[in-house]
Amino acid sequence: MPWPLPTLESDLLALAKGYPFEVPGRSYLFGADAVVPLAADAGPEVFAERVPVIAHGSNRSPRQLRRKYGNGAEIPVSRAWLADYDVVYSAHVTQYGAIAANLQHMPGTRVEVYVTWLTVPQLERMHETELGGENYHYGEMAEIELTLEVGPVPTLSAAHAYLSTRGCLIERPSRPVGLAAVAAERRAHGALVQEAAIALVRDRHRPGIDLDRHILATIRDRTLRRDLIAAMAQHALPATAPHFRILEG
């Protein structure tokens, strides 16, 4: 685990159920001591020599950035809208018991994401937390329409992202499940809150187990989690992201 898990059961359960964690609902500057609004007139120098990385899951949240970077980083984060994609549940369970997010190509849908502007050392740290576990690829999304609330330009046609290798969780045949915590326009399928998504997986693969016991077991038992992910793969919808080119992972 690239950042420490809490020790209390109540905190572990809150972590799993809280994914993808709170966001400010606006562009912000993540700093060593505080999170403050990112000025609407932030100049190009704020974003210079930084890599734009689309954050569609927990990396949108200041709370998760604090877990990964502690108090040693300053990161501009732009609220943005990505055209022709939705944020859906991936068909895998994280080491802290949550069902993770993924981007899925959905023509006509427009979804809220955040763009983290990372320096090279910050990107290397993000790689440490995202790659190496066979769950994600890192790459570039090109020829996209990514409209920024605040940024060096109004719209980006390319940015980087971490996308799941595990496909998408389904609720009904051939239909992914959106994250209810993530705003989207013209979403063509259902959406669930995190606890309901975990319950869906539990009901499908470990029926009859108390939900909290199930969550704690997936955190503490690596073999059980691996076997659960393998079972989820049998029902997964293949991930589709035609604009994505793998660079690492």
Tell me the C-alpha distance between 66 and 76, whole Å: 13
The number of C-alpha atoms within 13 Å of 152 and in the hemisphere containing its C-beta is 15
**Is 80 contained in some domain?**
yes
- Residue 4 falls within a domain, yes or no? no
Q: Does a structural domain hold residue 200?
A: yes
Q: Is 69 in a helix, a strand, or coil? A: helix
Token pair for residue 67? 């877990």
CB-based contact 75:183 (threshold 8 Å): no
Contact predicate 162/138, CB 8 Å: yes
CA dihedral 117, 122, 127, 130 (to 10 degrees): -70
Q: Tell me whether residue 78 is in a domain.
A: yes
Domain containing 182 — which CATH number?
Answer: 3.10.490.10
Range of the domain at 194: 9-248
Q: What is the pLDDT of residues 175-225, one digit of tens each?
A: 999 999 999 999 999 999 999 999 999 999 999 999 999 999 999 999 999
Number of domains in the chain: 1
Whether 1 is covered by a domain: the verdict is no
Answer yes or no: is 114 within a domain.
yes
**pLDDT per residue of the chain (249 residues) written in tens, 0 to 9:** 788 999 999 999 999 999 999 999 999 999 988 999 999 999 999 999 999 999 999 999 999 999 999 988 999 999 999 999 999 999 999 999 999 999 999 999 999 999 999 999 999 999 999 998 889 999 999 999 999 999 999 999 999 999 999 999 998 888 999 999 999 999 999 999 999 999 999 999 999 999 999 999 999 999 999 999 999 999 899 999 999 999 998
Q: Which pLDDT score, from 0 to 100, does residue 173 have?
A: 83
Q: How many CB atoms lie within 10 A of CB 189?
A: 18
Cis peptide before 20 (omega within 30 of 0): yes
Residue 2 domain flag: no
Structure tokens that stand for 43 in this block: 């100049």
- Look at residue 174 and tell me if it is in a domain: yes
